[in-house]
Amino acid sequence: MIQITTQEGGATFSVKVVPRTSRNEIAGVQGDMLRIRLTAPPVEGAANRALVRLLAETLNLPERDIEILSGHAGRQKVVRVAGLSAHELEARLREHLSSI
């Protein structure tokens, strides 16, 4: 499972983004990171916006609660989710990952 760290008011985890794929989806786990495929190209923040939208939909949270902390220009990113503990975040991700 992915490594989730508790922070004040939320939790953080790492993702590996694969841009320019045929659909937006959580593709599984790669090492200790969540692997995410996005249709958006990595140009002018399009892939970052698509990532935030996908995670917000998956976790049933508003987009404002999802923040990319680092890796804005790379494929490996650290994402912060506000309003969820590490335990709650893990449970929601586990629920989604069991369906793929």
pLDDT tens series, the chain, 100 aa: 799 999 888 999 999 999 999 999 999 999 999 999 999 999 999 999 999 999 999 999 999 999 999 999 999 999 999 999 999 999 999 998 886 5
pTM equals: 0.94
* Element of type H or E holding 58: helix 46-59
Q: What is the pLDDT of residue 8?
A: 87
Residue 46 has phi, psi (to 5 degrees) of -60, -45
Q: In the 8-state DSSP scheme, what is residue 65?
A: G
Number of domains in the chain: 1
Domain span at 24:
4-97
Locate 58 and state its tokens. 């998956």
* Element of type H or E holding 85: none
CATH number at residue 68: 3.30.1200.10
Residue 98 has phi, psi (to 5 degrees) of -70, -20
